[in-house]
Chains A and B, each alone.
Chain A
Amino acid sequence: MKKRVQRKVEPMIEVIKVTKTYPHDITALHEISLTVNKGEMCFLIGRSGAGKTTLLKLLCNMEQATRGLIEVAGQEMNLLRGRKLSQLRQQMGVAYQDFKLLPERTAAENIAISMEVSYKKPQVIRDRVCSLLDQLGLADKYDTLTGELSHGEQQRVTLARAIANSPSIILGDEPTGNLDAASTERVMRLLSNCNKAGATILIATHDETIFREGSHRVLEIADGRLEGIAAFPTTL
């Protein structure tokens, strides 16, 4: 109990008055401020085009904030370059909305990439990949090219890649968007195990079922603004 209190006071992700303007004056985020504490799991909801993906992209430094401050694990994102950035990214698993899988590599190879960059032993990598594929119900897809997988299967491979290296921060962009109830259940169980192991998790989603029953924080974005921070989902 004491441990939990301590965790709460230590922020992992801090976003302070961040504005993101794309070329041609498209403002995707407008003065957003939010904090995700270490070891917390929370959800980001909002209509399509609200700016969820944009926020996640800012957090993993795929895009740079136009204004405002973003700190992840105590590092200021706008200033992060080179080796420091690589190190942080190795500690951060991201399941992209567009997957970013390499279609000509097998599922196992795609998952292994995130472990290879931190020079894990081949044997360790193989064991981890097998266990993840197993937990996600893809045990027989080890040697299948990801280009030949279904959308939902690709989505799970993407998630496996994001968590394979046991990152301390996990960002999921609609990790259950194409999944049936059983697969969604598997994915959420895996994520909540990661959370119990100490990972900080932020998930952007349209899928109410995955947060309705939990007690996790739900943040709602509308038109690039943070609507409200609901400790309990409004749908309840």
Chain B
Amino acid sequence: MNFLFTVLRQLGRNLRQTWGVQIMTLLTVTLSLLIFSFFYLVYTNVVNLGDRLSEDIRLIAYLDEEPNLELRKQLERKIIQFDDVEEINFITREQAYDRFKAQLGENATVLDGMPKNFLSPSVEVVPVKTLGHLNRLKDFSSYLSKINGIQKVQSGQEWVEKFNATSQLITIVVIASGALLILTTIFMVAFTIRLTILGRHDELELLKLVGATNSYIRTPFMLEGILHGLLGSSIGLGALYVLFLWIKTHFTTPGFMTMFDFTFLGPWGMAMIILSSIFLCTLGSWATMQRFVKG
């Protein structure tokens, strides 16, 4: 109880005496946390999108004519000859028409008066979703296009490749901004604590002389680090949330939304960010204090 009281009073003195620097540090921690968590947010959304996209990966082979049962069996056999697949669906002209109509939604009226059979029948091949199978998708599609009776093959593969390259880039950015966060946080907090120590050097020396233990001297500064970590990360995440809402309302059209469901960080992600930020700030102040109490 007395310990807590003394420590808190000391913390209050520290904050009062160097509040200018304290605010600067808080801003730096907040800003670097904002930068990091922004990229992290983008990253998690991109990863989600990637998962959803690869769920949608399929090869669509358009056929010259509606296949009869015999031809279907033949095609199935040829497809399985090349690679294991998850699903093979035959789509008739009418099914294709219905799907298209459903996709158009309200605009479906443009189809009025069109014959129901103007779309080609097709085979839909859903590949097995492992990296090995997905990497053979290009060969698969050229194999299919050489089969008699298949007009042309459509695959989202190029798109997926580009997407993968992008998400790798984003991963690198996330790691880089994470490293930046770690460095700035530790250095800024260490810098603040060092300034506080310099500003109160006489007092801290005197405390040592009258028999203050290291924990008596160190605890308020550790608390200061914890405070910076907690406040900095909370404010940073709060700012990120505001940014998130702004982006969501200004940049996402309804059509885009259905494909790209922009979501905020989950509670675990936020807890991890706050905890690591507290950890980093405390580490920064601990390292500085260690040098002081030893010296």
Residues of A within 8 A of B (CB): 60, 62, 82-83, 85-92, 94, 100, 102, 113-114, 116-122, 161, 165
Contacts and interface: CB of A to CB of B under 8 A. Distances in A.
Interface in B1-29: 2-3, 5-6
B5 A117 contact: no
B203 A90 contact: no
Contact of B206 (A87, A90, A102, A118): A102
B211 A89 contact: yes
A121 B2 contact: yes
B209 A119 contact: no
Interface in B187-223: 202-203, 206-214, 216
Contacts of A82: 214
9 contacts: A60-B209, A92-B211, A94-B209, A102-B202, A102-B203, A114-B211, A117-B213, A122-B2, A122-B5
Contacts of B216: 117
A199 B189 CA distance: 44
Nearest to A85: B211
Contacts of B207: 113, 117
B111 to A, nearest CB: 84
A88 B206 contact: no
A120 B213 CA distance: 14
A62 B209 contact: yes
Contacts of A118: 211
Contacts of A116: 6
B2 A83 contact: no
A57 to B, nearest CB: 10
Nearest to B200: A102
Contact of B213 (A86, A113, A122, A161): A86
Contact of B211 (A86, A102, A121, A122): A86
A123 B206 CA distance: 23
A82 B213 CA distance: 7
A117 B214 contact: no
A82 B202 CA distance: 19
B2 A119 contact: yes
B48 to A, nearest CB: 52
Interface of B: 2-3, 5-6, 202-203, 206-214, 216
Nearest to B202: A102
Given A100-B202, A119-B6, A83 B211 contact: no
4 closest A-B pairs (Cβ-Cβ)?
A: A89-B211, A90-B211, A117-B212, A119-B2
A103 to B, nearest CB: 9
Contacts of B5: 122
Contacts of B211: 85-92, 114, 117-118
Given A100-B202, A113-B206, A119 B3 contact: yes
Contacts of B206: 100, 102, 113
Contacts of B214: 82-83, 86
A88 B216 CA distance: 15
A113 B210 CA distance: 8
A113 B209 CA distance: 11
A90 B2 contact: no
Contacts of B6: 116, 119
Nearest to B212: A117
A90 B213 CA distance: 10
Nearest to B293: A82
A117 B210 contact: yes
B2 A89 contact: no
Nearest to B215: A83
A120 B5 CA distance: 11
A121 to B, nearest CB: 6
A123 B187 CA distance: 40
A147 B207 CA distance: 18
Nearest to B203: A102
Name the residue in A60, A87, A89, A119 with the highest tally of chain B Cβ atoms < 10 Å from its Cβ: A119
Nearest to A61: B209
Contacts of A161: 210
B3 to A, nearest CB: 6
A116 B216 CA distance: 10
A86 B212 contact: yes
